[in-house]
């Protein structure tokens, strides 16, 4: 395993016997290099593949450095209705995934507790629950998007926007597979 050593570039000298960098004393460093900008470089020491090379530093130029061009600002997310709800926009797949996650978990809970399959759940008052849940989740998902808040800006750690999309896709497939399996079987799975 290689260890790293930070060395100030303007104040190093190399020993001839062991090819290791040595640092000058802080007094000498301050006295000799007040006009030089300090730079820190890292070099591998243990188990290195190639020998250390001396760092050469050119004298500071008297010409002014050109000003760095400012980075272009990040494009703000569009809040137009047609852009948010476009086929490739941020809302449709995310909202459908959230509804599928809630629907799959709800269908499994009712099936385990009452023994009803998905089609029985829908015919026994499930439509009103579906419509109510759809309205609440859709509005809760659209309000931040219309305010210009991107989903990626609020994700971090384990709960990322990509993980939410993946979970939503799996829930959509799971809900369809549950309905097809119960249709072919003719009743609840459990």
pLDDT tens track for 106-147 = 999 989 998 888 888 888 888 888 899 899 999 998 888 888
* pLDDT above 60: residue 105: yes
pLDDT at 101: 94
For the chain, what is the mean pLDDT? 74
pLDDT at 43: 58
Q: In the structure, what pLDDT confidence band is assigned to residue 155 with cuts at 50, 70 and 90? A: confident
Contacts of 22 (CB under 8 A, 6+ apart): 12, 13, 14, 15
Reading the block at residue 129, the tokens are 């629950």
Alpha carbons 126 and 85: distance in angstroms, whole number: 26
Determine whether 5 is exposed, middle or buried from the number of CB atoms within 10 Å of its CB (0-12, 13-18, 19+).
middle
Q: Coil, strand or helix: which one is 2?
A: coil
3-state helix, strand, coil in the chain (%, to 5): 50, 10, 40
Q: Are 63 and 56 in contact, with CB atoms under 8 Å apart?
A: no
Q: In the structure, what pLDDT confidence band is assigned to residue 102 with cuts at 50, 70 and 90? A: very high
**What pTM did the predictor assign?**
0.55
| Range of weakest confidence among 72-76, 129-133, 155-159, 184-188 | 72-76
Q: In the structure, what pLDDT confidence band is assigned to residue 14 with cuts at 50, 70 and 90? A: very low
Q: In the structure, what pLDDT confidence band is assigned to residue 46 with cuts at 50, 70 and 90? A: low
Which has the higher per-residue pLDDT, 58 or 13? Answer: 58
Q: Coil, strand or helix: which one is 9?
A: helix
Q: In the structure, what pLDDT confidence band is assigned to residue 158 with cuts at 50, 70 and 90? A: confident
* Proportion of the chain above pLDDT 90, given as a percent: 23
pLDDT digits 0-9 by tens, 21-45: 455 445 444 455 555 555 655 555 5
* pLDDT above 80: residue 182: yes
Which has the higher per-residue pLDDT, 72 or 140? Answer: 140
């Amino acid at each position: 395993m290689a260890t790293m050593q930070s060395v100030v570039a303007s104040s190093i000298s190399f020993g001839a016997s062991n090819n290791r960098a040595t640092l000058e004393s802080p007094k000498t460093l301050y006295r000799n290099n007040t006009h030089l900008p300090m730079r820190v470089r890292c070099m591998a020491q243990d188990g290195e593949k190639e020998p250390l090379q001396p760092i050469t530093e050119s004298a500071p130029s008297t010409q002014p450095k050109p000003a760095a061009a400012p980075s272009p600002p990040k494009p703000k997310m569009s809040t137009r209705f047609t852009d948010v709800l476009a086929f490739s926009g941020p809302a449709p797949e995310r909202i459908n995934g959230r509804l599928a996650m809630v629907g799959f978990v709800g269908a499994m809970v009712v099936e385990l507790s009452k023994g009803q399959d998905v089609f029985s759940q829908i015919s026994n008052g499930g439509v009103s629950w579906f419509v109510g849940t759809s309205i609440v989740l859709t509005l809760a998902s659209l309000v931040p998007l219309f305010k210009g808040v991107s989903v990626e800006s609020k994700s971090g750690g384990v709960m990322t926007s990509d993980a939410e999309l993946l979970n939503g896709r799996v829930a959509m497939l799971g809900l369809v597979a549950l309905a097809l399996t119960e249709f072919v079987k003719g009743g609840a799975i459990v």
